[in-house]
Structure 1
Amino acid sequence: MELTVRLFALYRERAGTKEFSLELPSGATVSDLTDAVRVRFPRLAPPEVKIVVAVNADYAESDEVLKPGDDVCLIPPVSGG
């Protein structure tokens, strides 16, 4: 299945794009997606940083199964004070 993945803030800057298409096998999970994203954009986030994923405007767990047409967004960690 082909998904469009949108990037925000720091992730957008590091990847050099605000969105991209990603081909994943049917039945792929959020974890499969983040693994594929790390291969495509190795500088996106260090291995120890969990990439937060929203699917259809809700935060997604790593074992959530993705479906064609899902709205997928990657949200970088936020810090502030």
Structure 2
Amino acid sequence: MKLLYFAWVRQKAGVAEEDVTLPGEVRDVSDVISWLRTRGEGYEAAFCDLSLIRCAVDQEHGGLDTPVAGAAEIAFFPPVTGG
């Protein structure tokens, strides 16, 4: 699965994208984040406040409870505003 990180999430995680094999117990976006936080301080910093994280699974906006089974890509990014 490809994970993509944008804006300050990328800066804190220290990586723009990566291909990973998720552990079998990972079922939804929340589980992905929990797993990522175990991978180092950068990920812990990037995902310390989940109210500031948005995601898209296979380019469809989702929430923390969005299932990831069969997904090819998850993107993480901060809230976006426009003007």
TM-score, length-normalised on structure 2?
0.72
Aligned-residue identity in percent: 27
Q: Give the superposition deviation at 1:80.
A: 7.5
Q: Which moved more, 1:66-75 or 1:52-61?
A: 66-75
Q: Does 1:31 align with 2:3?
A: no
Structure 1: runs of 5 or more not aligned: none
Give the equivalent residue in structure 1 for 2:18. 20
TM-score, length-normalised on structure 1?
0.73
Note the alpha carbon deviations across 1:15-48, whole angstroms, 9 max, x for none.
1111123332166111111211222211113335
Aligned residues: CA RMSD: 2.4
Q: Partner of 2:51: helix, strand, or coil?
A: coil
Partner Cα separation in structure 1 for residue 50 and residue 64 of structure 2: 15
Partner Cα separation in structure 2 for residue 72 and residue 50 of structure 1: 16
Q: Give the superposition deviation at 1:50.
A: 4.3
Q: Partner of 2:3: helix, strand, or coil?
A: strand
